Chains A and B, each alone.
Chain A
Amino acid sequence: MNNLIVSPTALAFAVVLVVIALVINLKEKIGLERDMIIGVIRAVIQLTIVGYVLTYIIKIDRIWLTGLMVAIIIFNAALNANKRADGIPHAFIISLLAIATSTLVTILLLVLAGAVRFTPSQIVPVSGMIASNAMVAIGLAYRSMNTSFHDQRQGVLERLALGANLKQASAHIVQMAIRTGMAPTIDSAKTVGIVSLPGMMSGLIFAGVDPTKAIMYQIMVTFMLLAATSIGSVIACYLAYPRYYNSDMQLSDKSSNSAK
């Protein structure tokens, strides 16, 4: 089973790939070299730490510790989604609610269905997958809402002037934001297997699991990510759109300078 060995030497050689990306970046003056170096360093440190933490959590197998790890994952995902909100008031709380609900509901259904067991070795990675996909979807949805409320300000004003309530005045923007948030997950579901061989499935095959069993897990992952991103995007968008208005049902100044 354990035929997957990445030696420190092999990892060191993989750094060459990062160097290639850096050289291209510098040559083309893309300006991402700083972010790229920070990203690489963070990835190495974070993954190393989480490797040891996961080993410990799996070894002692306590419900509270598994729950704490899931909570940390959700909290960090909400922090990251909040960065994409570009000033939407209370975006952190909204993101936290959306990511927590989408992650916990999906996990609960999976556990009840017997698809995953409540053990740290299953719950923690699955939570990470769900929370990170919900985080990306919510970040994209925020960006879409910021742009739409800025670019379509006049249209929203006219809807309000006609006597629309906030939901009616924003419906087209909220729908677009949810579509934008879910687009990567839907595209990925459409192309899974023919374009990408996703991480979980590849990982299981790498680790020697029968590919047909790995595929069944991947189908489950695809379904769970569809559910999680739709729950997360819908909650985040419906909680966030009223923040673009003031208490007199007028567009607040935020919407005129939010898109950057």
Chain B
Amino acid sequence: MTEPIFDVQGLGYKNGKNQILHDMTVQIAKGANLTIAGPSGSGKSTFLRLLATLLTPTSGTVMFNGKDQSTYPKPLYRQQVSYCFQQPTLFGETVRDNLAFPFEIRGQNFDEQKALAALDSVELTAEMLDQPIIELSGGEKQRVALVRNLLFKPQVLLLDEISAGLDVDTKGVVHRLIQSYRESGVTVLSVTHDETEIAAADDLLRIRDGRIEVPTHE
């Protein structure tokens, strides 16, 4: 195994009295394409959110590139470990407002050409840039949200069932985009219930009742 991008040791998460994750230990290699599967409520999303620092572990540690994740400044870490929500919310009035945000938080001016190229990569037209978000379909919203996450290439992409509920064509577009990022070295961790995606997984991590059921294989 190459140097792990994530080294998770004894990770646990408790919400009130409810222990959601128990003593999870796993290493994830740089550039891996890891599929995470398991029954609903087993703790898959919680695991991703812990990796994204959207939740804080109640026990154990997560090392990212050899350093404890808690030692990184949170905004910089989250820009490198990008979490995509299952049902994303778009901001403001138009698609432009959403694509301008990643530039804004990095203190950069909006690069329209870059935004248009990103929209094109998910088969959305240039006219879409000024379209009101309330006019977008579910599939278009998910693609805009994904573009928002990928305008600046992260080291890790955490996908929380992002293709659930999408039509076959949109799934194809999303998968091709993610594949292209994977090939450029981005580590991808995706939670899914889709049996086809599970069957096609390069590496599979099964979680059941907050525990790793089958360790990942390289």
Contact = CB atoms under 8 A, between A and B. Distances in A.
A160 B105 contact: no
Interface in A135-175: 154-155, 157-165, 168, 172
Contact of B85 (A161, A168, A250): A161
Contact of B56 (A154, A155, A248): A248
A172 B145 CA distance: 18
A155 B91 contact: yes
A249 interface: yes
A162 B54 contact: no
Nearest to B79: A163
B74 A168 contact: no
Given A155-B89, A159-B101, A165 B56 contact: no
Contact of B75 (A155, A157, A165, A172): A165
Contacts of A168: 104-105
Contacts of A154: 85, 89
Given A168-B105, A248-B53, A162 B148 contact: yes
Contacts of A162: 78-79, 82, 101-102, 105, 148-149
B52 interface: yes
A139 B145 CA distance: 35
Nearest to B76: A163
Given A158-B85, A158-B89, A172-B91, A249 B74 contact: yes
A248 B53 CA distance: 8
Contact of B55 (A155, A163, A164, A250): A250
B6 interface: no
25 contacts: A155-B89, A155-B91, A157-B54, A158-B85, A158-B88, A158-B89, A159-B105, A160-B78, A161-B52, A161-B82, A161-B83, A162-B101, A162-B105, A162-B148, A163-B78, A163-B102, A163-B105, A164-B101, A165-B74, A165-B105, A168-B105, A172-B91, A249-B53, A249-B75, A250-B54
Given A158-B89, A162-B82, A163-B82, 9 more contacts: A154-B85, A158-B88, A159-B105, A161-B54, A162-B149, A163-B76, A163-B102, A172-B92, A250-B55
A-B pairs with lowest CB-CB distance, top 10 = A163-B79, A163-B78, A249-B74, A161-B83, A154-B89, A163-B75, A164-B105, A155-B89, A248-B56, A165-B75
